Chains A and B, each alone.
Chain A
Amino acid sequence: AQSVAQPEDQVNVAEGNPLTVKCTYSVSGNPYLFWYVQYPNRGLQFLLKYITGDNLVKGSYGFEAEFNKSQTSFHLKKPSALVSDSALYFCAVSVPRNFNKFYFGSGTKLNVKP
C-alpha cells in the first residue's frame, strides 16, 4: 500500500532562518512526489514536484525540495523563511500507471515568527 508520512504536526521557525518540512513515503515503484500549501479556508496550491533527474527540485516562492531515494524522503526547504510562509503544507505521492491517484500526508503546520 502507498503511504506518506509527515512526522511533524507543527514546525516553528524564526523569520529569516532556514526551514525544513519533512516527508517520507512508501510506494511500490518509482514515485512522483509533490508539495502543496494550504492557507486557511483555501484549496491546495501547487509548490513543486519531483519526477526524475536532479534530486534537488526548485519550486514556487523560493521553496525547494530534496529527493532522497535511499531514505525514501522528500523534504521541503527554504533558505530564509518569511512570516507569509506560515500555512499548512502537504506532501503527496502518486505512482506511475495508477492514473494519478494522489496519496497525501497528514500535513505540517508551519509557523514563522517575526
Chain B
Amino acid sequence: DAGVTQSPTHLIKTRGQQVTLRCSPKSGHDTVSWYQQALGQGPQFIFQYYEEEERQRGNFPDRFSGHQFPNYSSELNVNALLLGDSALYLCASSLTGQGADTQYFGPGTRLTVL
C-alpha cells in the first residue's frame, strides 16, 4: 500500500521565481492538505483540497495556490518567491467523512530560495 509521495525531494530557486510541488495521496484517500514547516517550527496549514476544490485556507498570501486533479493528486504553486518561503513543504492526505480524519504525511519537499 503506497503511502503519500511528494516530488521533488529538494528544490533550489531564486527570489521572484515560481515553483510547483506535487503530491500523490495515500491509496483510497480523497483529501489533500498542504503545510509549510519552517526550520525549528511546527507545520503551518496552507490549504486543503477536496473534490478538486479548495475548501479551507490558512493565513497565507495569494502567491500560494493549488490544484487537485480527478485522481486526487495535488499541486502546490508558489509565485514570486521570497527568501522567507524557504521551508519544508508537507503534503498530507486523508479520507473525508471518516470522523476524525487522521492525516498521513509525505516525506516533504525541501525548498530553498536564494
Contact = CB atoms under 8 A, between A and B. Distances in A.
Interface residues of A, number: 26
Interface in B85-114: 90, 92, 94, 96, 99-108, 110
Nearest to A4: B42
Contacts of A43: 4, 6, 90, 105-108
B40 to A, nearest CB: 8
Nearest to A31: B100
Interface stretch (A13-21, A45-53, A62-70, A75-83): A45-53
A107 B41 contact: yes
B73 interface: no
B42 A105 contact: yes
Interface residues of B, number: 31
A101 interface: yes
A46 B104 contact: yes
Interface of A: 4, 32, 34, 36, 41-46, 49, 51, 90, 92, 94, 96, 98-107
Question: Which of A43, A46, A94, A105 has the most chain B CB atoms inside 10 A of its CB?
Answer: A43
Given A90-B43, A103-B45, A49 B56 contact: no
A49 B107 contact: no
Contact of A44 (B43, B55, B56, B101): B43
Nearest to B57: A101
B48 interface: yes
A101 B48 contact: yes
